[in-house]
Amino acid sequence: MGRSPCCEKAHTNKGAWTKEEDQRLIAYIRAHGEGSWRSLPKAAGLLRCGKSCRLRWMNYLRPDLKRGNFTGDDDELIIKLHALLGNKWSLIAGQLPGRTDNEIKNYWNTHIKRKLLSRGIDPQTHRPLSGGAGSALTTTSSTAGFPSPAPASRPTPTPPPAVVVPPNAIFARPAPSEDGHSSSGASTDAPRCPDLNLDLDLSVGPPPKTPAATPASQQRRRTTICLCYHLGVRGGEACSCETASSLAGFRFLRPLEEGQYI
DNA sequence: AATGCATCCAACCGCACCAGC
DNA sequence: AGCTGGTGCGGTTGGATGCAT
DSSP assignment of chain A equals: --PPPSS-GGG---SSPPHHHHHHHHHHHHHH-S--TTTHHHHHT--S-HHHHHHHIIIII-TT---S---HHHHHHHHHHHHHHSS-HHHHHHTSTT--HHHHHHHIIIIIHHHHHHTTB-TTT-SBPTT----------SSSSPPPSS-TTS---SPPPS-PPPTTB-BPEEP--TT------SSTT--EESPP---------SPP-SGGGS-HHHHHHH--BB-HHHHT-TTSTT--GGGGGGSS--BB--PPPTT---
In angstroms, how far is the first alpha carbon of chain A from the final one?
41
Would you say A262 and A256 are in contact if contact means Cβ atoms under 8 Å apart? yes
Give me the domains of chain A, ranges plus CATH numbers. Answer: 19-61 (1.10.10), 72-119 (1.10.10.60)
CA of A242 to C1' of C19 (A): 52
Instruction: Provide the residue-wise pLDDT of chain A in tens; the chain has 262 residues.
Output: 434 556 655 567 888 888 888 888 888 888 888 878 888 888 888 888 888 888 888 888 888 887 777 888 888 888 888 888 888 888 888 888 888 888 888 888 888 888 887 778 877 777 777 654 444 334 433 333 333 333 333 333 344 444 444 434 444 444 333 333 333 333 333 333 434 444 444 433 333 333 333 333 333 344 444 444 443 334 333 344 433 333 333 333 333 333 444 3
pLDDT of residue A10: 58
CA of A87 to C1' of C12 (A): 14
- Tally Cβ neighbours within 10 Å of residue A213: 20
Residues recorded for chain A: 262
What residue has its CA nearest to the C1' of B18? A221
CA of A81 to C1' of B3 (A): 42
Q: Is the CB of A183 under 7 A from strand C?
A: no
pLDDT of residue A7: 62
Nucleotides of C under 7 A from a protein CB: 3-12, 15-16
pLDDT of residue A130: 67
> What is the pTM assigned to this prediction?
0.63
Q: Is the CB of A154 under 7 A from strand C?
A: yes
Single-letter amino acid code for the residue at A135 = S
What are the Cα distances from residue A22, in Å, to A12, A16, A42, A94?
Answer: 15, 10, 14, 24
pLDDT of residue A6: 60
Q: Please write the tens of the pLDDT for every residue from A169-184.
A: 444 444 333 333 333 3
Nucleotides of B under 7 A from a protein CB: 7-18
CA of A6 to C1' of C5 (A): 9
Quick one: how far is CA A70 from the chain centroid?
16
Query: Which residues on adjacent β-strands are paired with residue A169?
Result: A251
| Interatomic CA distance for residues A107 and A78, integer angstroms | 10
Please choose, from the candidates A54, A50, A56, A55, the residue with its C-alpha nearest in 3D space to the C-alpha of residue A7. A50
